[in-house]
Amino acid sequence: MIQHILRALSISTLGLVLFVSAESDARSRIKDITEFEGVRDNMLVGYGLVVGLNGTGDSLRNSTFTAQSLESMLERLGVSTRGQNINTKNVAAVMVTATLPPFARHGSRVDISVSALGDAKSLLGGTLLVTPLHGADGEVYAVAQGALTVGGFAAEGEAESIVKGVPTSARIASGAIVEREIGFELDRLDSVKIALHNPDFTTASRIAAAINGHMKARLATARDSATVELAVPATYQRKISALLTQIEQLPVEPDQPAKVLIDEGSGIIVMGSDVRIDEVAVAQGNLTVRVTETPEVVQPEPFSDGETVAVPRTEIEVNEATDAKLAVLPAGVSLQDLVTGLNALGVSPRDLIGILQAIKAAGALQAEIEVM
For each of the chain's 372 residues, which pLDDT tens digit applies?
A: 334 433 433 333 334 444 444 444 568 999 999 999 888 899 999 999 999 998 889 998 888 888 889 988 888 888 887 777 778 889 999 999 999 998 899 999 999 999 999 899 899 999 999 999 999 999 999 999 999 999 876 666 666 777 777 899 999 999 999 999 887 888 888 999 999 999 999 999 999 999 999 999 999 999 999 999 999 998 998 888 899 999 999 999 998 888 888 877 777 778 777 777 777 776 666 545 455 657 777 777 776 677 777 777 766 665 555 555 555 556 666 656 666 666 666 667 677 777 778 878 877 777 888 887
Angle among Cα 260, 262, 264 to the nearest 5 degrees reads 165
> Quick one: 264 exposed, middle or buried, by C-beta within 10 A (0-12, 13-18, 19+)?
exposed
Query: Angle, to 10 degrees, between the axis of helix 201-215 and the axis of helix 240-247?
Result: 120
Give the largest Cα separation in the chain, rounded. Answer: 112
CA-based nearest residue to 46, from 168, 122, 152, 141: 141
Which of 35, 16, 14, 342 has its CA nearest to residue 207? 35
Reduced to 3 states (helix: H, G, I; strand: E, B; else coil), residue 49 is: strand
Look at strands 368-371 and 153-156 and give their pairing.
unpaired
Phi then psi dihedrals of residue 108, to 5 deg: -75, 165
Distance, CA of 269 to chain centre: 16
Quickly count: other Cβ atoms within 10 Å of residue 6's Cβ.
13
280: closest CA among 209, 333, 220, 234? 333
Q: Which pLDDT score, from 0 to 100, does residue 339 have?
A: 67
For residues 176 and 109, the answer to whether their CB atoms sit within 8 Å is: yes
Q: What is the pLDDT of residue 12?
A: 36
DSSP percent split of the chain into helix, strand, coil, nearest 5: 20, 35, 45
Q: Which long-range contacts (CB under 8 A, 24 or more apart) does 310-316 make?
A: 315/291, 316/289, 316/290, 316/291, 316/292
The amino acid sitting at 353 is I
> Which neighbouring-strand residues pair with 229?
193, 221
pLDDT at position 3 is 41
DSSP class of 293: E
Which residue, 40, 93, 38, is CA-closest to 64? 93
Residue ranges with strand state E in 285-363:
287-293, 296-298, 309-311, 314-320, 325-329
Q: Is 120 helix (H, G, I), strand (E, B) or coil?
A: coil
Kindly list the structural domains of the chain, giving each domain's residue range(s) and its CATH number in brackets, ordered by start.
2-23+259-371 (no CATH), 28-38+185-252 (3.90.1150), 42-178 (no CATH)
**pLDDT value at residue 43:** 95
